[in-house]
Structure 1
Amino acid sequence: MNRLLFLALIFLVQLASAQDLPKRQVIGRDVGQLKNIRITGRIIDQITGEALVGATVTIPELNQVKVTDPNGGFELMLERAEYNLEFRYVGYETIFYPITSVGDGRISIQMIQEDFQLDDVVIFGRDPEKNIRSTDMGAITLSMNSMKELPPFLGEVDIIRSMATLPGVSQVGEAAAGINVRGGGADQNLIQYAGAPIYNPTHLFGLFTSFNPDVVNDVTLYKSVIPTRFGGRGSSILDILPKTGALDRWGGDLMVSNISGKVGVNGPLVKDKISLRGGFRGSYINWFLNSLSNPDLANSQANFYDGNLVISAPISEKNEFTYSFYTSYDDFAFASDTTISWQNNSHSFQWKSKLNEKLSLEALGYYTQYDYSIFNRSGISDFDLNSGIEDYGGKLFVQYQLSPTNKITLGGDTKRLEIQPGELIPFDSQESGILPKKVQNEFGVESGVHFQHEFEIGEKFGMSYGLRYDMYSFLGPRNVRQYEANQPKSDGTAVSEVSYGEGEKIIDYTGLGPRGSIRYSLSKYSSIKVGYNKMYQFIHLISNTATIAPTDFWKLSDEFLEPQSVDQYSLGFYQNFKGNIFETSIEVYYKDIQNVVEYKDGANLIVQNHLETELVPAQGRAYGVELYAKKNLGRLTGWISYTYSRSLRRVITAFEEEIINDGDWFSSNFDKPHDITVIGNYKISTNTSVSATFGYSTGRPVTFPQAKFDYLGNSLAYFSRRNEQRLPDFHRLDLSVNFKFRGESKFADGEWTFSVLNVYGRRNPFSLFFVDEAGAPPQANRLAVLGVPLPSLSYSIAF
């Protein structure tokens, strides 16, 4: 009887403990298990059901921090004991969750957003000490919640412009497409959405980024030591991950502004198994163009749209399939006679699998396409000019987690590219005198295999090292010119042609790229890191502008144009203060760049079948120092970044007529020695905040004509040394105010954002053009895209 009473008492105590869930969650049923207890879980938004990627799970008793994966999942390895878990995510209420672990189990956490939490606003949705403890150098992740703290550009968040507020990242002007990272060209950045490369990520010549922020989860920029799973570019990787839809309920969002509007929906196609998220954004921007001071722009018309679709199927805890589709389109009618259009399309299919507790796999296949066209209908010499690129490939990664601080990643990737460099089609060749012309298509295959090992040695040392082997083949069909030996390549020195059949190998290139970094922790809040990175690039952007334009085209490395190779050396010191409220860093770097593309004086690039006669190989170097200070918590948050950098080029060949600036080093088109950004966000109340961004940078290099002369009755400009003058310095202040309203219905429960770009009306020059005047050298005139303050107003709701 006493034994029965004793057993009954134990049963009642266990039952009471199990029912006290708000205070203590009992995980598992295997009471005999003492250690290596595996707890898995997933964190989602309580309202929308979306996975919260980059949320942190803290175990104070073990001084451990875990970060959720792209599906919102996490995994903990515990012993049999009591723990007090903390769940945090930027913009959401913190959850404190006591548990008693007695065996393997699973937790589902639902977090709810809060209105501008005043004492816990974290810029990055990740471990606040990651910048100190990780071996990553130059890797910065911005969640969409942190980007929303910035003043919006024309009514909404702009992803690429948000990146340009970081140290070492700049743009050449206010309507610049792409970014320049640590002295590299815009084509040296791989921008990928859901694993698929995007070749022109802009609307309206760079005024807007063509990614709808409402379907983006987070963005990571790698600019220093780049993981070996990435290849194919010389400067940086911009990895954009899409949001997935909710699995349990339908919802959506709507935004209207005086520039554009967008709508999105998400929800379960099959409840708890398959989700969908879709978004569409379109413009009504012509009023904005009509308000510009430039008469050609004021008489122009524009239209753009972009769309996204994400279907996600987390069919089990161990397997998830995701399909992503992205499209964007622009057309711009310049002064009513010339229309320029460009379009991106991409598809990607991803499979993630957790094979066991230590081994995981990720496979991805993609197809992406970029096309541009110019239609001239002036009535004189009408024509169409078309160009495009197709890129499709696959990637496979396998990761083995030896321990929480020791993992190995292996993998490989391959892709096939086809480029149509240009085709000129006259509307009426007899009347216009223009003959049809088509540049030969280019074909190439690019592949790579890689491994990376990341581990820690005690409390002080961490190390990441890896190796990537790149392989590239330039393929037929193609007719290849042969030139006289010891003579510059020109039409006059061509002697014959060699024909290659379809798929026939013309030339191969290979490259071995070691990468690594070492971290030494001086304390819990400070560390020193050193890194080395080698990258190869087999595709080049051919352009006569400093920024990406629709008229540019891509070219593959061939027997005349060798791949670019970039060696980068980095050293950094990182220090956090006052419990990670303040985060600071200083990084220095040096880059050596080989086989970067430069152009002969007077080069003819449009519809050029023998581009090797217009290009010259150049050597490049870039170096700089980056300072960064950021405040993460409190009513006032933001950061200050300052970069001093130089980006230089040198052209020395065996032929005197190809040498530029007498073989001296000269500034690249995007060399801007001084660049400073100041960002602040002040929360007036739980529903109101004010933000400001101020930017200053040195004017970019340009080449001015030195004189003019008459030739056969025509006035021609004379240019001497390249890039020895500069545009005036750039500076601009932007302000915005954000209001959240709570109403009786969902449609009254919205968010208003009012912003003013270029508050004091600075006429920053985007470019210069020259006008001939009698008896004087050509006179420079400034073209400013935003020469006056530009207000915008937007209203958004979620339902």
Structure 2
Amino acid sequence: MMKKILFLIFLFSGFASLAQQNAEPPKRIVVGRDIGQLKGIRISGRIIDEITGEALVGATITVPELDLTRITDTNGFFELVLDRAEYNLTFRYVGYETIDYPITAVGDGRISIRMIQEDFQLDDVVIYGRDPEKNIRSTDMGAVTLSMNTMRELPPFFGEVDIVRSLATLPGVSQVGEASSGLNVRGGGVDQNLIQFGGAPIYNPSHMFGLFTAFNPDVVNDVTLYKAVVPARFGGRSSAILDIIPKAGSVDKWGVDLMAGTYTGKVSVNGPLIKDKVSILGGFRISYINWLLQTLTDPVLNNSNANFYDGNLVISAPISDNNEFMYSYYTSYDDFAFASDTTISWKNTAHSLQWKSKLSEKLSMEALGFYSGYNFGVFNRSGINDFQINSDILDLGGKLFVSYNFSPTNKVTFGGEYKQIEIQPGELIPGEQGEVLPRKVQNEFGREMAGHFQHEFELGEKLGFSYGLRYDFYQYLGARTVRQYAENQPISDGSAIGEINYADGEVIQSYDGLGPRASIRYSFNKSTSIKAGYNKMYQFIHLISNTATIAPFDLWKLSDNYLKPQIADQYSLGFYKNFKGNIFETSIEFYYKDLQNVVEYKDGANLIVRNHIETELVPAQGQAYGAELYIKKNLGRLTGWISYTYSRALRRVITPYEEENINDGEWYASNFDKPNDLTVIGNYKVSTNTSISATVAYSTGRPVTFPEAKFDYSGNSLAYFDNRNQDRMPDFFRIDFAANFKLKGSGKFFEGDWTFSVLNVLGRKNPYSIFFGDAPGLPPQSLRLALLGVPLPSLSYAIKF
């Protein structure tokens, strides 16, 4: 046997050697016009997708002779400064074939690199960008980029990739429950995250109250979450930025993607409108989930009906190497009919138009205009006191960014933005029968402007700096009638003393502030670095809610005379270490966040259709701190990561009036405070076409307020509540499993993927919410609602042709 093995090894080595001898080496390319220049030769270029013409952002260019690496900018451009000599350039981008490009540099010149996607059987799972050493060498802190290839490695939620839940597997990012929308990032509320698709803000990123994320993964290129030092170009929220980049269609040929799953189905079509110049991509996703609701144990959900869809259209026009236009359209719609004849619906709509231009070898520009709308409605058709509640948000604005590269390691970005926002907080329309009276909350109008700049540079190989400044200016506008209240009294209906009328467009209240951002990186060597950073952000819009997640009937409210902007100061410190040639990536980060003017509601507050909502609110201080541990394996058959976060998210309400203080002015846990959060992800490639994956998640139960006792009042049994958020739900624990099988096609034949997954393999009844029932002679009894109380299998089949 040993002789046979040795013979096979010898035979294989011989064929490999012969193949190498017969293979023609790449031809060396002469770059530049030879005018006798010996030093300071500038070689610039752009890297794009061979099929779509899309710029590849974050691709790496390596010059092994100089031990030099550069990364493409947001337009796919790069620049090298070389001496006159021969070099062997290497171009890499995750998911694309590596290109070896031998050149002879004789003068200033430009090259264009077209990379083609390789077979998606990747051996790596990329989290921190596309450069395997980016987590060590960059000054970014808490900037997390997930490609679609990465998210496909995770066990799918209900049979398909879920963008928001993929991010929630990372340290410092969590959700409050099993079916919850939005993200809680480093102790921030869900409203403290700016979620934008193609540059346009999205106000409710969920389907079915959070069971599904409202983004079709087939039309997404990648997503980036900024959770620590946020670049100065982003603002408007106090916790994090989630930037979702749409995918461009092919400028070369037409293609179709189809997926049919247990709960949803989707289709996307892309191809050239004008060959090699203009592409189009359209995607549509729809649900057929009502049969699942009928299997749930809760009688209300069991007799309910749900429908949702989302659609996308992306038109991309890379008309030249220097100019590219992209139009993006997004819409999503939900309606959920409860068994009690109450229907809740909500809809997102977003348009954006982007222009990227390279004005010179060093100067580039990006301009973007957007329109975003969000509305929801609650309809009661029970026949008794029928009513309808409507609310709307309109957001319209533009942004401009200009970048100047002094050198590959010295870059300045500056720009500005302007937006107008209008909110219709709520209108109650009674039915034809009943005693409900009509009511309409006044519309709100606001205007935001900002100017910003950022400077990134390196001093040698060890030190890197990034600092920036953002100036935010906000105006609260009329037309509006503003109530006045007596001094030295709590703001309440009883302390109202008059009103002031403001004309259309008249400034009622203004706020402004400077938001500095800075980070520094010191590299001990190529695999080890330490970073520190500081970030200050302002937020002029608030989610008024007594829930821990985004509900469609929650109220969005602008800052006004009584509700000041939220302000967040965050300090971060991190240590980063890669092992075994970047196969293993580890980091530990510490953070502390101080929050001002966080919105809390008074005990017993009524938040629905309130014309003077300030009477129900109190300002709070916030405090969040924690440590995040991250270990990731990038290569091999077994890949994955472990993320653990210890964190606290606290609130405190102290006012001049004792009756408005919460928990006697002491610090208390916020609705989404979960001290321990652990996620383990594993993906094992059984063969080229088969892989299995699993996720194990554990977290401390979130805070809740339980009644302490009950008492009788006028013949009614009422619950007595003492301190807020002093109790907790049971701890959360869940295991998910998935298996993926790929069918390979060739030529014009399609190729397909079968995906089988099981959510909640152990059938654990993790509570979605806790509510209380009355039993004679006993304290209030707590009851648990578990939406996924049994193992939930799903099967999907996706094909391409």
Q: Structure 1 length normalisation: TM-score?
A: 0.95
1:643-722 matches, within 5 Å, as 643-722=645-724
Q: 271-280 or 619-628: which moved more?
A: 271-280
Amino acid in the other structure paired with 1:110: M
Distance 1:746 1:336, change over 3 A: farther
Supply the AA of the counterpart residue of 1:460.
K
Cα distance in 1, alignment partners of residues 219 and 58 from structure 2: 16
List aligned pairs for 1:172-251, cutoff 5 A.
Answer: 172-251=176-255
Counterpart in the other structure of 1:578: 580
AA aligned to 1:352 is K
Q: Which residue of 2 aligns with 1:6?
A: none
Letter in 1 for 2:46: G
Which blocks of at least 5 consecutive residues in structure 2 are unaligned? 1-22
Residue 427 of structure 2 is matched in structure 1 by: 423
Q: Which residue of 1 aligns with 2:599?
A: 597
Deviation at 1:418, TM superposition (A): 0.3
- Secondary structure of the corresponding residue to residue 136 of structure 2: helix
The residue identity in structure 1 corresponding to 2:268 is G
Which sits farther off after the overlay, 57-66 or 366-375? 57-66
Unaligned stretches of 5+ residues in structure 1: 1-18
Pick one of 731, 734, 737 that aligns with 2:733: 731
The verdict on how the C-alpha distance between 1:745 and 1:245 changes in structure 2, with shifts beyond 3 A counting, is closer
C-alpha change, 1:72 and 1:283, in structure 2 (3 Å) is: farther
Per-residue Cα deviation, 1:661-706 (whole angstroms, up to 9, x for no partner): 0111000000000000000111111111111111100000000011
* Code of the aligned partner of 2:732: F
Task: Report the equivalent of 1:619.
Answer: 621
Contact 2:57 2:72 in 1 (8 A): yes
Contact 2:162 2:217 in 1 (8 A): yes
Residues 1:465 and 2:467 are matched in the alignment: yes
Shift of 1:535: 0.6
Q: CA deviation at 1:71?
A: 5.6
Aligned to 2:6: none
Secondary structure in 2 matching 1:304: strand
1:729, 1:434 → 2: CA distance? 42
Q: Deviations over 1:346-397 (max 9, x none)?
A: 1111111111111111111101000000111111111110011111111111
Q: For the residues of structure 1 that align with 2:703 and 2:316, how far apart are their CA atoms?
A: 47
Kindly state the Cα deviation for residue 45 of structure 1 after the two structures are TM-superposed: 4.8
| Cα distance in 2 between the residues matched to 1:483 and 1:147 | 52
Name the CA distance, whole Å, in 2 between partners of 1:653 and 1:742: 66
User: Which residue among 492, 495, 506 is the counterpart of 1:493?
Assistant: 495
**Of 503, 506, 525, which residue of structure 1 is paired with 2:505?**
503
Which residue of 2 is the match for residue 4 of structure 1? none
Match of 2:435 among 406, 430, 433: 433
Kindly provide the amino acid, as one letter, of the partner of residue 367 in structure 1: Y
Cα distance per residue 1:722-764 (max 9 Å; x no partner): 0000000001000101111124685652111111100000100
- Mark the CA change 1:333 to 1:358 in structure 2 (over 3 Å): closer, same or farther: same
Which of 61, 65, 79 aligns to 1:61? It is 65
**Does 1:271 pair with 2:279?**
no
From 136, 139, 160, the equivalent of 2:164 is 160
Corresponding residue number in structure 1 for 2:346: 342
- 8 Å CA contact 2:423–2:444 kept in 1: the answer is yes
The separation in 1 between residues aligned to 2:55 and 2:323, in whole angstroms, is: 15
How is 1:283-322 mapped onto 2 (pairs within 5 angstroms)? 283-322=287-326
2:558 maps to 556
- Using the TM superposition, give the Cα deviation of residue 514 of structure 1 relative to its aligned residue in structure 2, in angstroms: 1.1
Instruction: Work out whether residues 90 and 121 of structure 1, in 8 Å CA contact, stay in contact via their aligned partners in 2.
Output: no
Matched, 1:130 2:128: no
Name the aligned partner's letter for residue 176 of structure 1. S
- The partner residue of 2:87 within 67, 74, 83 is 83
| Alpha-carbon spacing, 1:576–1:359, altered in 2? closer, same or farther (3 Å) | same
1:479 to 474, 478, 481: 481
- Choose which of 255, 260, 269 in structure 2 pairs with 1:256: 260
Alpha carbons 2:159, 2:757 under 8 Å: kept: yes
Is 1:147 the counterpart of 2:139? The answer is no
Query: Could you tell me which amino acid in structure 1 is paired with residue 640 of structure 2?
Result: G
Quick check: 1:618–1:651 contact (8 Å CA) kept in 2?
yes
Map of 1:40 onto structure 2: 45
SS in 1 for 2:66: coil
User: SS at the partner of 1:492?
Assistant: helix
- RMSD over aligned Cα atoms: 1.8
Identity over the aligned pairs, expressed in percent?
A: 71
Cα distance, 1:313 vs. partner?
Answer: 1.3
Deviations 1:610-665 (A, max 9, x none): 01110000011000000011111111111100000000000110111101101110
Residue 78 (structure 1) shift: 3.9
**3-state DSSP of counterpart to 1:161:** helix
CA separation of 1:458 and 1:39: change in aligned 2, threshold 3 A: closer
Contact kept? 1:89, 1:125, Cα under 8 Å: no
- The aligned residue for residue 3 of structure 1 is none
Q: What does residue 386 of structure 2 align with?
A: 382
Separation in 2 of the partners of 1:330 and 1:779? 33
Match among 445, 448, 464 for residue 446 of structure 1: 448
* CA–CA distance in structure 2, aligned partners of residues 125 and 268 of structure 1: 29
Amino acid aligned to 1:337: D
For this pair of structures, how many residues does the alignment match? 777
Deviation at 1:65, TM superposition (A): 2.9
**Which residue is 2:609 aligned to?**
607
- One-letter amino acid matched to 2:49: I
Does 2:114 align with 1:109? yes
Confirm or deny: 8 A CA contact 1:39 1:78 kept in the other structure: no
Q: Could you tell me how far apart the structure 1 residues matched to 2:695 and 2:238 are? A: 29
Q: Helix, strand or coil: the match of 2:218?
A: helix
What secondary structure does 1:684 align onto?
strand
Counterpart CA distance in 2 for 1:753 and 1:669 is 35
TM-score (norm 2): 0.94
The offset of 1:50, in angstroms, is 5.7
Q: Which residue number in structure 1 is paired with residue 589 of structure 2?
A: 587
Amino acid at match of 1:113: E
Tell me how far apart the structure 1 counterparts of residues 164 and 405 of structure 2 sit (CA, whole Å).
Answer: 33
1:373: which partner in 2?
A: 377
Alignment partners' CA distance in 1, 2:158 and 2:749: 23
Q: 1:394-432: per-residue Cα shift (whole Å, max 9, x none)?
A: 11111111111111111111111100100000112xx31
My pick for the range that moved more, 250-259 or 716-725, is 250-259
Q: Does 1:280 align with 2:259?
A: no
- Partners in 2 of 1:45 and 1:211 — Cα distance? 26
Distance apart, 1:92 and its partner CA: 3.6
Q: Which amino acid in the other structure matches residue 499 of structure 1?
A: N
Give 1:763's aligned amino acid. K
Structure 1 CA distance for aligned equivalents of residues 94 and 358 of structure 2? 27
